[in-house]
Amino acid sequence: MTRMPKRVGGRTPRIGPGTLLALAVCGVAVALGRATRRPHFPGERVWRGQAAPHASSPVALQPSPPPLVKPDPGYILDRADELKLAPGQRTALAALDARWRKQKERLISAMEAAADPARAGRAGSVERLAADLAGYSALSREFEVLRRRAWEDARRALSPDQARQIDAMLSRGSAK
């Protein structure tokens, strides 16, 4: 015995050529949308099914922020000719840069040791890991304080006009 489909609203439900065509068009549109999706910024991962923002959406209208620049005395020394630094300024900045590099090397070494308990020969308990991470955070804060101090000392070695030039370079995000 053949079973007839249940009647819906007085009609037998059927999938006709129009429904099949509509499903095919939707499938093609979804496939093309996924294939043409591009990342918005370098390193962004695009997941399946993720749609690009519409051109009028707030995300699409926001300009990209300038690159993050955390300058140190070497930043100024790299631009010595452009800033027209005097020989005395170059000498003072080179001394500040050497001091900063020495501090930086010491702190990076200590942060690497704090971040890698296996290399330092320490056990991997949760308490030890928490202590290592707290130590790493303290070293990271110290690193930033010393970097900022070195930058401020280096900036004080500049004339007001040179300081304005370096500020303009930083605002444009011209990091090397």
- What residue ranges define each of the domains in the chain, with the CATH number in brackets? 73-172 (1.20.120)
Sign of the dihedral through C-alpha 65, 70, 74, 80: positive
The rounded distance, in Å, linking the Cα atoms of 11 and 30 is: 31
Its pTM stands at 0.57
Q: Quick check: helix, strand or coil at residue 11?
A: strand
The predicted-structure confidence for 18-77, as pLDDT tens digits, reads as follows 777 787 887 877 776 655 555 554 544 555 445 555 555 555 556 666 667 788 999 999
Please determine, for residue 98, whether its predicted confidence score (pLDDT) is greater than 60. Answer: yes
H/E run at residue 42? none
Please determine, for residue 118, whether its predicted confidence score (pLDDT) is greater than 60. Answer: no
The rounded distance, in Å, linking the Cα atoms of 160 and 172 is: 19
Please state the rounded mean pLDDT for residues 154-159. Answer: 94
